[in-house]
Amino acid sequence: MSYKLEIQSIEDVTHDVKRIRLAKPDGYQFTPGQATEVALDREGWRDEKRPFTFTSLNSDPWLEFTIKVYPEHDGVTLLGDKFINVVTREKPAGDSLFLDGHIDENFLASHISGKGDAFYVCGPEAFNDDIIDALKALGIEADSLVFEE
């Protein structure tokens, strides 16, 4: 199914990253981490679809994408030999290589070893707010938090 959506805002997050918010169709839902194909409704661009991952939440009244801009070339960025494919073997319970799961207060409490550490938080606004609240609830001081505004 295709939608024609209005751009609500375009914001510079950094010198080469844009946050784009679009009007959200009524009842539209997506799975966190899901990507969709986006094209511009302009002559010569309608068939130039590009995949982008949602950075908004389903509960947000908009659809949001955070996109790195590469002005030195057109089209898709191909990683070529810079791509590293990680293949893992399942390990016995309690002996894992990677952590997974929703990052919330319980997750943080089970993985924080010292309250004197610096905590770097980076993500969409709602994610940052939730993580900062969870860290403060765990007794982490505000001056230990580092994040982008």
Question: Which tens digits make up the pLDDT trace of 80-110?
Answer: 666 666 666 666 666 655 666 778 899 888 8
Given a cut of 90, is residue 115 above it in pLDDT? Answer: no
Asked if 119 and 140 count as a contact pair (C-beta separation under 8 A), the reply is yes
Return the pLDDT at 84.
66
| Residue 65, CA distances (Å) to 1, 5, 21, 30, 79 in order | 19, 13, 7, 13, 21
The tokens of 47 are what? 């068939």
Nearest to 76 by CA among 41, 34, 53, 48: 48
Given a cut of 80, is residue 137 above it in pLDDT? Answer: yes
Given a cut of 80, is residue 47 above it in pLDDT? Answer: yes
φ, ψ for residue 121, nearest 5 deg: -120, 125
Return the pLDDT at 10.
94
**What domains are defined for the chain?**
7-68 (2.40.30.10), 105-147 (no CATH)
Given a cut of 90, is residue 7 above it in pLDDT? Answer: yes
Long-range contacts of 25-28 (CB under 8 A, 24+ apart): 28/3, 28/63
pLDDT band at 113 (very low <50, low <70, confident <90, very high): confident
Residues 6+ apart with CB under 8 A from 71: 16
Q: Is the pTM of this model over 0.85?
A: no
Share of the chain above pLDDT 90, in %: 28
CA 88 to the chain's CA centroid? 24
Return the pLDDT at 6.
92
pLDDT band at 8 (very low <50, low <70, confident <90, very high): very high
Given a cut of 80, is residue 76 above it in pLDDT? Answer: no
φ, ψ for residue 9, nearest 5 deg: -160, 155
